[in-house]
Amino acid sequence: MNQSEIEPRVMRARQAAKYLSMSTWKLRNLVQVGELACIMGDGTSPWLFDRHDLDGWIERRKETL
């Protein structure tokens, strides 16, 4: 498998917000209120997001009518 074919599991805030179709401000608010977990990163990207956590948040938000 080529390295460029591997989907990254961990994303920066901007990438995670785009993945969830929301602003980075909304994403950060979800972390601050405890609805979404993040990984404390390094100085260049203080908050990192696991794709599995993002998918889990999506699943928890699904509703049927």
* Residue 4: pLDDT over 80: no
64 band by pLDDT with thresholds 50, 70 and 90:
confident
Q: Residue 45 has what DSSP assignment?
A: -
Task: State the pLDDT at residue 10.
Answer: 94
Task: Say if 1 falls within a structural domain.
Answer: no
Task: Say if 3 falls within a structural domain.
Answer: no
Extended strands (E) in the chain: 10-12, 39-40, 47-50
How does pLDDT run across 5-51, given as a tens digit for each residue? Answer: 788 899 999 999 999 999 999 999 999 999 999 998 777 778 999 99
Task: Say if 44 falls within a structural domain.
Answer: yes
* Structural domain total, the chain: 1
Task: Say if 14 falls within a structural domain.
Answer: yes
Task: Say if 2 falls within a structural domain.
Answer: no
Task: State the pLDDT at residue 17.
Answer: 97
Task: State the pLDDT at residue 1.
Answer: 58
Structural domain harbouring 52: 8-61
Q: What distance lies between CA 20 and its chain's CA centroid?
A: 7
The CATH number of the domain where 30 resides is what?
1.10.10
